[in-house]
Amino acid sequence: MDRITGKVKFAIIGCGRISYRHIEAIQENNDAQLVALCDLNLERANEMNGTAHVKVYEDYREMFSAEDIDVACIMTPSGMHAEHAIDIITSYRKHIVLEKPMCLRVSDGLKLIDTARSVGVRLFIVHQNRFNKAIQKIKTAIDNDLIGRIAMATVRIRWSRGQSYYDRDPWRGTWALDGGALTNQAIHHIDLLRWLTGAIKSLSAVAKTQFVNVAVEDTACAWLKFKNGALGAIEATTATRPLNKDLEASISILGENGTVIVEGAAVNKLTLWTFDDTDTREFSEDPPNVYGFGHNHIIDNVVDVLKNGGEPLVSGEDAIESIKLLSALYRSIEEDGREVSLKDDPVSGRLGVIDAATEKIANLYRTDAVMRSRKK
C-alpha cells in the first residue's frame, strides 16, 4: 500500500468503555485525524462524541461509504473482533487497530492475519501494557541479557468485577463472545509473561466461578513450563472483594543475575530492581485507571508505520501467540488441569464458539442483522 502523505484518518467502531482512550490518543497525535465514530447504539456514540465533534454513524457500512478513512479502530465485543475486522478489510480495505484480545479462537485469528496480508493492509493489536515504562525496562534488560537465565516468572491479577459489570451488556460473561478473567482481564498479563519470558512448552490450569453468576471463570491459576527452562505461574481473579477496587496486576521475574518486580493495579510501578542503582520511581507511573497510557504508543506507531514505513509494535502474528496460550489454558481447565503441550495446538471447546444457542447474542452485534431487525 502507498504511504500516507497527509494526516492519517481514523474511525472508531464501538463507543463503549475503552473508546475514549482511542479518541484521546488520536487527538494527541498531530498527524492523526479522527473522522467518525460508529456504534450500533447511537446514544453511546453521541456521548463519546462530546469531546470529538465528528460525524456519528450507527452502521459502519454507511460510514465507510460516506467518509474518507484510512484506519478502523475496532473495539466491539471480543468474540466479534475477527468477524468485524475481516469484513472491514475485505469490503473496505482499511488498516485495522484491534483491541485485545485480538480474537477468541486461534483459527479466526489466523484467518484474520491471512486476510490482512492478502489484501495488503496492516493489523495493529492493542496490548498497551507492553509500553508501560517499567515493562519496557524489563524488556530491554532481557534483550540485553542483563537478567540472565530465568528461574521463575509470575503474573498476579487481583481485580474486582461484580455482577453488575457482567449484567451491563449481553456479551459479557459468555463463552461465545467474552471469556472469563483469563480472557478479558488477564490477557494483558498473559501476553506480557509470554512476550518477556519467551515461548511456553506446556502448562496446567484450573478455574472456578466464585462470586458471580456467569458461565465463565472469575478465578484461575496455572503453572507453566517455558521452552527456555523457566517455570511460571499465573494467578488471575476478578473476584477480589470488596467490590470495585482493582488491587493488583503485577509481574515478577527471578533471573540468575537478580530480580525484578513490577506492581501497582496495572503493572505500572517498578518496586524491585536489583541489577544496579536505578531509581525505581523513574520507571513508575500513576495512570488514572487500569487502562494506563499505552494506547498513545499504539496510535503513534500506526501513524508512523502508515506514513513512514516500518512494522507494527504489536502485529497480528505476535498477538496470536498469546491467543494460542489462552486457548491452551482453557483446554487444560476443561480437562481438569491436565498438563497440555503447546506443540499439540490445544484448543478450547467453548471459548469463542458461536453455536445455535449463542447465535442470537452474536446477532446483536452484526450490523446487517441489527439493521434488518430495526427495519421490521
Ligand X SMILES: NC(=O)c1ccc[n+]([C@@H]2O[C@H](COP(=O)([O-])OP(=O)(O)OC[C@H]3O[C@@H](n4cnc5c(N)ncnc54)[C@H](O)[C@@H]3O)[C@@H](O)[C@H]2O)c1
Q: Is 189 in the site for ligand X (CB under 6 A)?
A: no
Q: Is 268 in the site for ligand X (CB under 6 A)?
A: no
Which one-letter DSSP state was computed for residue 89?
H
Q: Is 39 in the site for ligand X (CB under 6 A)?
A: yes
Q: What angle do CA 224, 354, 103 make, to 5 degrees?
A: 45
**Where does this chain touch ligand X (CB under 6 A) — which range of 77-85, 89-97, 231-239, 336-344?**
77-85
Encoded amino acid at 13, one letter? I
Q: Is 291 in the site for ligand X (CB under 6 A)?
A: yes
Cα gap 51→4, rounded to integer Å: 26
In whole angstroms, the minimum distance from the beta carbon of 144 to ligand X comes to 28
Q: Is 100 in the site for ligand X (CB under 6 A)?
A: yes
CA-to-CA separations, 133 to 128, 252, 293, 330, in angstroms, rounded: 11, 15, 10, 31
Cα gap 349→334, rounded to integer Å: 8
In whole angstroms, the minimum distance from the beta carbon of 169 to ligand X comes to 4
In whole angstroms, the minimum distance from the beta carbon of 136 to ligand X comes to 17
Q: Is 14 in the site for ligand X (CB under 6 A)?
A: yes
Q: Is 78 in the site for ligand X (CB under 6 A)?
A: yes
Unique residue bearing C-alpha cell 447504539: 41
Cα gap 259→271, rounded to integer Å: 10
**Where does this chain touch ligand X (CB under 6 A) — which range of 40-48, 159-167, 191-199, 200-208?**
40-48
Cα gap 87→90, rounded to integer Å: 5
Q: Is 17 in the site for ligand X (CB under 6 A)?
A: yes
Instruction: Write out the binding residues for ligand X, residues 203-262 only, by CB under 6 A.
Output: none
Cα gap 28→5, rounded to integer Å: 19
Centre a 10 Å sphere on the Cβ of residue 336 and count the other Cβ atoms it contains. Answer: 9
Among 8, 35, 75, 150, binds ligand X (CB under 6 A): 75
Among 8, 12, 15, 328, binds ligand X (CB under 6 A): 15
Among 154, 174, 184, 250, binds ligand X (CB under 6 A): 184
| Grid cell for residue 209 | 466461578
Q: What angle do CA 312, 313, 319 make, to 5 degrees?
A: 90
Residue nearest to ligand X (CB): 16
Among 41, 209, 259, 271, binds ligand X (CB under 6 A): 41
- Cβ-in-10-Å burial (0-12, 13-18, 19+) of 229 comes to exposed
CB 177 within 8 A of CB 171: yes
In whole angstroms, the minimum distance from the beta carbon of 25 to ligand X comes to 11
Question: Site size for ligand X, by CB under 6 A?
Answer: 27
Which residues would be at the binding site for ligand X (CB under 6 A)? 13-18, 38-41, 44, 60, 75-78, 80, 84, 99-100, 126, 128, 169, 184, 291, 365, 367
